[in-house]
Amino acid sequence: MNPARARSGHVSDNGRMTSPDVQDTAGAPEPPAAGAAGAAVLRPRLPSPLLEAGDERFARHGVRLLLKRDDLIHPELVGNKWRKLTPNLEAAAGRTVVTFGGAYSNHLRATAAAGRLLGIPTLGVVRGQELAERPLNPSLARCAADGMRLRFVDRRTYRAKAEPETLAGILRAVDAEDAYVVPEGGSNSPAVRGCQELGRELGDAADVVAVACGTGGTLAGLAAGLAPGRRALGIPVLKGGFLDADVLALQRAAFGARRGLWSLDDRFHFGGYARTTPELDAFAEDFEDRHGLPVERLYVAKMLYGLVALAEEGAFPHGTTVAAVITAAPLP
């Protein structure tokens, strides 16, 4: 297998004045009031199911495949998004949550859904000011329908969003200076500690646990929670080879030092984030047919493809049990 690796305001249709850079969400359903019980009221399915998947592409190499179905934790806060968002929502304590993402960000979509379900105002800062002039794609449309305000910024500003002065300017521009800020992808110390529970749930059930990586927070927590001697494998979905340093920094911030055994394989990004190829689509369709599992393309398909390729390369010794964490579901 060879993978590819300020303008003036205007009046909206409903008569409200809005800036083209901040999408109007009037007409979205009013969220319920946030309850004191927080995210617990949403009844997550935890621990998530761990299922065996018979697959001859692994079996002929003496490898056993398990699927850790984090996509079944909650119908709207799917997979690692539940584990990463819950501790941040608790820390927000009812304040507006501001976070960041690209046009197809699963994180933005999950944050918007959480805001609607828990009655927490949300604002998504989206990479690409040019997108403000285009119709919303299905992912961003879902965010808006869930009540998230969308602020589009140019790519230079977006790259500098972690700098205090730039962040302060963004928050002033949207009148959210007292907001609780969650970084891109939701990866920060609370999120990493939340993902540690994923490793604890798996315990010693698998020798290698694989997860798709965007910002590295899930891998950082997963590795810290696994039983001694078990290894976490990250499959980045972005180009660049920068995640080693990011995962290590996340672990140091959350735990004070590197934790657990983990590694990354950068070969399966298929050209970068939000990119797919006919080969990847065909692989995902075949996996769906084999296992009855809806395969999300931007993260999960790349991770599963990578595991099949690694098995064929002999990367897993005979007798190895590999668990694939299903961190996302296809967009409805």
Q: What would the mean pLDDT of 205-227 be, rounded to a whole number?
A: 97
Q: What would the mean pLDDT of 277-288 be, rounded to a whole number?
A: 97
Q: What would the mean pLDDT of 73-91 be, rounded to a whole number?
A: 91
Q: At what angle do helices 189-202 and 80-92 cross, to 10 degrees?
A: 140
| 164 shares a domain with 191 | no
pLDDT of the residue at 331: 76
Cα(281)–Cα(270) distance, rounded to whole angstroms?
11
Cα(42)–Cα(52) distance, rounded to whole angstroms?
27
Q: Which residues contact 302 (CB under 8 A, 6 or more apart)?
A: 3, 212, 235, 237, 268, 269, 270, 280
pLDDT of the residue at 38: 62
Task: Encode burial over 76-111: b for 16+ CB neighbours within 10 A, e otherwise.
Answer: bbbbbbbbbbbbbbeebeeebbbbbbbbbbbbbbbb
pLDDT of the residue at 28: 38
In a domain, 10, yes or no: no
Q: What would the mean pLDDT of 300-325 be, rounded to a whole number?
A: 98
pLDDT of the residue at 273: 78
Structural domain count, the chain: 2
pLDDT class for 78, splitting at 50, 70, 90? confident
In a domain, 4, yes or no: no
Domain boundary pick from 158, 178, 198: 178
Query: What is the domain-level CATH number for residue 172?
Result: 3.40.50.1100
pLDDT of the residue at 282: 98
pLDDT of the residue at 2: 40
Q: pLDDT tens across 112-122, in order?
A: 999 999 999 99
Tell which residue, 212, 220, 287, has the closest CA to residue 257.
Answer: 220
Domain that holds residue 115: 96-178
Q: Which residues contact 326 (CB under 8 A, 6 or more apart)?
A: 67, 68, 69, 70, 71, 79, 293, 300
Q: pLDDT tens across 121-158, in order?
A: 999 999 999 999 999 999 999 999 999 999 999 999 99
166's tokens: 């730039």
Average pLDDT, the chain: 88
pTM of the model: 0.85
In this structure, the chain runs to a length of: 332
| 169 shares a domain with 122 | yes
Q: Which residues contact 163 (CB under 8 A, 6 or more apart)?
A: none
| 313 shares a domain with 235 | yes
In a domain, 231, yes or no: yes
In a domain, 24, yes or no: no
pLDDT class for 33, splitting at 50, 70, 90? very low
